[in-house]
Structure 1
Amino acid sequence: MNLETLKAMLKKKEDRKAEIGEKSKASEDVIELRSLNSEMDKVNEDITELRSIIDGLSKKREEIPRDDGAVQEKRSTPEGQLKPVSTFNIGQPTNTDEKRAEKLEKMYEKRGSDLKSKRAVTFDIEEIPELRAVSIGGGTLITEKKYSNTLNPKFSEVSSLVDLVNGIPLMGGESYTKGFEVSSGEGDYTAEDGEYKDADPAYGYVTIGKAKITAYAEMTDESMKLPNINYQSSVAKSIGEALRKKITKQIIVGAGGANAINGIFNAPSNVIPENTDIEISEIDADTLDKIVFGYGGDEEVEGGAYLTLNKQDLAAFAAVRATDGKKLYKIRKNGNTGTISSDDSFEIPFIINSACAPLSSDSTPVDRYCMAYGMVKAYEMPIFSQVSVEESRDYKFKSGQIAYRGSVWAGGNVAMHKGFVRVKKVIAT
């Protein structure tokens, strides 16, 4: 793993540390505070460990004498790379950095060996590639993006919505209750000897239960030839991507109830009242204005909200023309996200999510929710367990496939009053 990747990992850890600090200041829930404190301890350990490894990789070349009296250059490790396991000074005094790196490598080596021996293993959530919404624990040190220089990557199948919602680590928990403010009171005129006007604020609550999300994957038995460290990383990537793919869609369309995540489109009415839904028949010059002005309270035009929509509807925005025939909406993209803007309107960020039905498609029925606009942090997703993975070579022994199954307990719901508005397709009038 190169130096830049390690520095990026360190920044993520430091950003998470700051985020935990802010959450701790705002939280009044004892269970949540305990969980946050536990996570903070782990993050601090990971930061110290990464800084030590980065410092070691940043050392300059040293010069040592050769047997013939000449001088040759020596590097403790090629710049931007980790030491291979075989280069550690076995039997020689090691410094603290080497001991930490050796400890990690032993842990990953054992996990890969356990998988090959058909023993169940547990991955910290953060080891599952890019599961940022639940970034707790450590161990991304040796996770690789690909494992062969002849294997071309596929197109992304995971919406980055899962990376932006508010992940709450609650290891071992059963449910999570979140309170939110519905409205504040308002004063009124009162006679000199009259009673004061009641101005109590109104509050609401949502309870988020846990759901078991599972994934099954197969890899060729050739993967057994990988070193144990790379082998366990490959398993984590395969299972983790499958879990992410399911979760990010459920954030939108999850049915809620027993053993199911509550999606934005099915949020309880006390969180998203149905009378706040925006009804649109087609995407035209006024669509973006209707969505932006239809969100939030009566006193402000809110900023910082995201529009989650289908890729087909993004194309429909791009196809809208102004009266002079020029494109009305400007689409700036960065993979799964970007911005929609107009010279005479707003610029708002968007997220593509295929779970959203395309409003612009004739096959999408009326009264179907198609988009969601709001503060993505208003959606809270508690994670109640680490990812457990098991391996079997019995099911597809004949075809030389190794089977894996993984599971995680998670939940989700909107936890802010009117945190989103939903866009519903209606018949044109």
Structure 2
Amino acid sequence: MKYEDLVKMSVKELKDRLKDLNTQAQAAAGKDLDALLEEATTITGILDDVKNRERLAGIAKDAEGGAEPTGGEKGEEVKDKAREERGQNIKDGKAVKFSAKKTFGVKNALSVSQTVTPTHSAADIKETFNDVSSLVDRVTSIPLNGGETYQRGYVKSYGDGAGGTAEGGDYNATEPVFGYVTIEKQKITAYTEEPEEMIKLPNADYDGVVEGSVTKAIRRYMSRQILIGDGTSGKFKGIFHNPTETKDQVIDPATDLSMTAVDDGTLDEVIYSFGGDEDVEDAAVLVLNKKDLKAFAKLRDKQGRKVYTIVNHGNTGTIDGVPYVINSACGAVTDAQTKAIVYCMAYGPLSNYEMAIFSDIDARKSLDYKFKQGQIAYRADIFAGGAVAAHNGFIRVKRPASA
């Protein structure tokens, strides 16, 4: 068939003609087969032209913003009902979505050069270094929901008055001496804000990281207060805290060790200085700064061998089999001396420190505060307190003041 006859045919007729040509080609050869192939090529070109015209018409339609929905009164009724529902949702404070394509006249992309190629985002968020010492999880926690204070009694001495008595004489008095420490509740809070755009970021849970940061901040604060809490009204009484009144001193400052360097005898000095005269205590933990742990690791003997065998497990580990916990609230013996005394290490059973938990961590998220600015607020709080609960429950290492 000639080209003039083919262009007058419908798409369906052209496809049927191709099928017919294929059937004829099975028995054709030479010039007859060439003619059939030429006609089939012409039909294929006509079909391609039809597709391209349809595609171009669609692009032109989109470029004009698209046609409004038709349907007469029924179509208008549907649009009015949708507008009414959106208006009611806004009044009720609910989220309302509008088609970005219709609202802003978004055009279909015509080529890669006219649009932005997609940017791929990771599905998770890379965490930074750990900033919460595991010390907060290893001391003794006492759940006391709803309480105000917690008083702990402890033995200071069992008395040392036993001895021989003459017949008919009075028995020797040996009275134990008790001490008491009061743990008061402290309100610990954390607060942060983020723009609402954060929750709309693709893939990774940025919002979850922000929300979790408030509870991490509370745990970090508590882990530091276990050591450096100043013991003022309603505050933690830290291991390094020294009350001005002797009767309130759970740890006798006279037992403190003074050091200006870490050497091959440091660990033995700490271990054998802790506890009573009759025992060498076991199950004790050394709390120290990472700088001093580094000093332990760098020590070498005359043959260049390491003095201490250190096994690291992140925030914890062992030095010659003695457990340690890193806490940045500790000063460092290896730092330069200052005009004030600085506490650097504590050694003892972590069960000797009691942390009273007067409430759960209450974490909340608010979409209402700063609604106008599109800010999302997170807050968390807990009521807790802590103190050393055993007489001389830890031995402390301090860096003396400079002369």
For normalisation by structure 2, the TM-score amounts to 0.63
Match of 1:320? 299
Match of 1:162? 136
- Three-state SS of the structure 2 residue aligned to 1:246 is helix
| Counterparts of 1:363 and 1:149, CA distance in 2 | 48
Q: Any conservation in 1 of the 2:346–2:395 contact (CA below 8 Å)? A: yes
What does 1:121-200 correspond to in 2, within 5 Å?
A: 149-186=123-160, 187-200=162-175
- Three-state SS of the structure 2 residue aligned to 1:257 is coil
Q: Any conservation in 2 of the 1:358–1:364 contact (CA below 8 Å)? A: no
Distance apart, 1:322 and its partner CA: 1.5
Match of 1:356? 330
Distance apart, 1:190 and its partner CA: 1.1
Structure 2 vs 1, CA of residues 366 and 328 (structure 1 numbering), >3 Å: closer, same or farther?
farther
Structure 2 vs 1, CA of residues 236 and 178 (structure 1 numbering), >3 Å: closer, same or farther?
farther
Q: Any conservation in 2 of the 1:337–1:351 contact (CA below 8 Å)? A: yes
| Counterparts of 1:292 and 1:219, CA distance in 2 | 48
Distance apart, 1:319 and its partner CA: 1.3
CA-atom RMSD in angstroms: 2.7
Q: Any conservation in 2 of the 1:309–1:352 contact (CA below 8 Å)? A: yes
Match of 2:387? 413
Q: Any conservation in 1 of the 2:242–2:253 contact (CA below 8 Å)? A: no
Structure 2 vs 1, CA of residues 428 and 331 (structure 1 numbering), >3 Å: closer, same or farther?
farther
Q: Any conservation in 2 of the 1:169–1:384 contact (CA below 8 Å)? A: yes
What does 1:298-337 correspond to in 2, within 5 Å?
A: 298-337=277-316
| 1:219-248 per-position Cα deviation (integer Å, ceiling 9, x unaligned) | 44256569xxx9997676222111101000
- Three-state SS of the structure 1 residue aligned to 2:240 is helix
Distance apart, 1:325 and its partner CA: 2.0
Match of 1:403? 377
| Counterparts of 1:233 and 1:427, CA distance in 2 | 45
| Counterparts of 2:363 and 2:124, CA distance in 1 | 27
What are structure 1's unaligned runs of at least 5 residues?
1-115, 118-147, 342-346
Structure showing greater radius of gyration is: 2
What does 1:49-88 correspond to in 2, within 5 Å?
A: none
Name the aligned partner's letter for residue 187 of structure 2: K
Match of 1:262? 237
| 1:91-116 per-position Cα deviation (integer Å, ceiling 9, x unaligned) | xxxxxxxxxxxxxxxxxxxxxxxxx9
Matched, 1:271 2:245: no
Q: Which moved more, 1:280-289 or 1:184-193?
A: 184-193
Match of 2:215? 240
| Counterparts of 1:169 and 1:334, CA distance in 2 | 29
| Counterparts of 1:330 and 1:398, CA distance in 2 | 59
Distance apart, 1:394 and its partner CA: 6.6
Q: Any conservation in 2 of the 1:281–1:427 contact (CA below 8 Å)? A: no
Name the aligned partner's letter for residue 273 of structure 1: D
Q: Any conservation in 2 of the 1:357–1:369 contact (CA below 8 Å)? A: yes
Q: Any conservation in 2 of the 1:368–1:424 contact (CA below 8 Å)? A: yes
Match of 2:272? 293
Q: 1:215 aligns with which of 186, 190, 193?
A: 190
| Counterparts of 1:334 and 1:251, CA distance in 2 | 21
Q: Any conservation in 1 of the 2:274–2:394 contact (CA below 8 Å)? A: yes
Structure 2 vs 1, CA of residues 396 and 154 (structure 1 numbering), >3 Å: closer, same or farther?
farther
Q: Any conservation in 1 of the 2:337–2:399 contact (CA below 8 Å)? A: no
Match of 1:384? 358
What are structure 2's unaligned runs of at least 5 residues?
1-92, 95-121
Distance apart, 1:407 and its partner CA: 1.2
Q: Identical aligned pairs, as a percentage?
A: 47
| Counterparts of 1:233 and 1:394, CA distance in 2 | 18
| Counterparts of 1:385 and 1:267, CA distance in 2 | 27
- Three-state SS of the structure 1 residue aligned to 2:301 is coil
| Counterparts of 2:211 and 2:142, CA distance in 1 | 21
| Counterparts of 1:293 and 1:238, CA distance in 2 | 41
| Counterparts of 2:306 and 2:134, CA distance in 1 | 27
Q: Any conservation in 2 of the 1:204–1:270 contact (CA below 8 Å)? A: no
| 1:151-175 per-position Cα deviation (integer Å, ceiling 9, x unaligned) | 1111100000001000011011000
